[in-house]
């Protein structure tokens, strides 16, 4: 009997030890799972944010266009290009409704010196990339400026070149890139319709003479045009809308 009692006690002790071991194991396992879960929960917070595109500020663009910024030496564009980008004289191009991406590219080219113009190179020198984008976005939102063709004697020639090109010289139709109405294609080809004929003609001459070199495509096309053909197509463009 005494031996049986001792065996019983030993069995109880072993059972109790087994239960304690199980609880201890569960406790350790729970700690491990909790430790593993913590980094997984924190992972989304540790993910780096991808910087977005610069936010366009139309109000800032209008302020720079109309008033400039004396503290940075930025001159107001309105002085030459007129209210809302509708210049009053042919010396300065109309900029209203022009595609923002095209305007930004031209300002950048002036600042870099890849488009030569002493006045505009000086104007663009003080502008940041954000300034350029803001000004361009403001101008793109302005009403388009209308114009008219002046020379009745050359309208037919200008129309023929603009719409059909000159096959014998390998000159493509202007409408192929700038559209039949002169509206252009955003981010690729500028709006031409309604532009001063004198300005358009001056740019064609600049491309032909190698003064303006920031479009190899236009350099090639202009090199094949005569003075008469340039004036005719520039005058026709002025009346497009």
The dihedral built from the CA positions of residue 66, 108, 57 and 136, taken in this order, carries a sign that is positive
The CATH number given to 58-140 is 1.10.760.10
**Contact assessment for residue 57 and residue 134, using Cβ atoms and an 8 Å cutoff:** yes
Fold for the domain defined by 155-238: Cytochrome Bc1 Complex; Chain D, domain 2 (1.10.760)
Q: What whole-number distance in Å separates Cα of residue 104 and Cα of residue 211?
A: 20
pLDDT along the chain (241 residues), means of 10: 43 41 37 38 47 85 98 97 97 98 98 96 97 98 96 98 98 98 95 98 98 97 98 98 92
Residue 218 DSSP SS3 = helix
Task: For residue 195, give the nearest of 91, 78, 80 by alpha carbon.
Answer: 91
**Contact assessment for residue 200 and residue 156, using Cβ atoms and an 8 Å cutoff:** no
Q: What whole-number distance in Å separates Cα of residue 185 and Cα of residue 177?
A: 7
Task: For residue 160, give the nearest of 64, 228, 87, 103 by alpha carbon.
Answer: 228
| pLDDT value of residue 15 | 43
| pLDDT value of residue 18 | 40
| pLDDT value of residue 52 | 64
The two structure tokens encoding residue 233: 């197509």
Give the bridge partners for 74, in sequence order: 69
pTM summary value = 0.78
Maximum CA extent, the chain: 136
The dihedral built from the CA positions of residue 96, 102, 105 and 109, taken in this order, carries a sign that is negative
| pLDDT value of residue 180 | 97
The two structure tokens encoding residue 78: 């309105």
| pLDDT value of residue 48 | 52
Interval 204-221: pLDDT, tens: 999 999 999 999 999 999
Q: What whole-number distance in Å separates Cα of residue 204 and Cα of residue 229?
A: 10
- Which residue's entry shows tokens 């924190």? 42
**Which residue ranges make up each domain of the chain?**
1-46, 58-140, 155-238
Q: What whole-number distance in Å separates Cα of residue 139 and Cα of residue 105?
A: 14
| pLDDT value of residue 220 | 98
Q: What whole-number distance in Å separates Cα of residue 97 and Cα of residue 135?
A: 12
Query: What is the CB-side half-sphere exposure of residue 73 using CA atoms within 13 A?
Result: 7
């Amino acid at each position: 009997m005494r031996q049986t009692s001792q065996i019983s006690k030993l069995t109880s002790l072993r059972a109790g030890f087994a239960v304690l071991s199980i609880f201890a194991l569960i406790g350790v396992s729970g700690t491990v799972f909790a430790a593993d879960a913590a980094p997984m929960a924190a992972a989304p917070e540790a993910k780096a944010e991808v910087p977005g595109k610069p936010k366009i500020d139309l109000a800032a663009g209008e302020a720079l266009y109309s008033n400039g910024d004396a503290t940075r030496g930025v001159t107001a564009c309105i002085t030459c290009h007129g209210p809302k980008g509708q210049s009053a004289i042919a010396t300065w191009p109309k900029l209203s409704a022009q595609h923002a991406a095209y305007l930004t590219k031209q300002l950048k080219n002036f600042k870099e010196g890849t488009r030569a113009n002493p006045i505009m190179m000086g104007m663009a020198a003080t502008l940041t990339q954000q300034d350029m984008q803001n000004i361009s976005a403001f101008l793109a939102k302005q009403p388009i400026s209308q114009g008219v063709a002046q020379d009745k004697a050359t309208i037919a020639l200008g129309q023929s070149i603009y719409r059909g090109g000159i096959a014998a010289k390998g000159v493509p139709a202007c409408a192929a890139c700038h559209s039949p109405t002169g509206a252009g294609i955003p981010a690729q080809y500028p709006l031409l319709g309604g532009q001063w004929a004198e300005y358009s003609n001056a740019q064609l001459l600049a491309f032909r003479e190698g003064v303006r070199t920031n479009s190899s495509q236009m350099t090639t096309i202009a090199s094949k045009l005569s003075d008469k053909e340039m004036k005719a197509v520039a005058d026709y463009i002025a009346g497009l809308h």
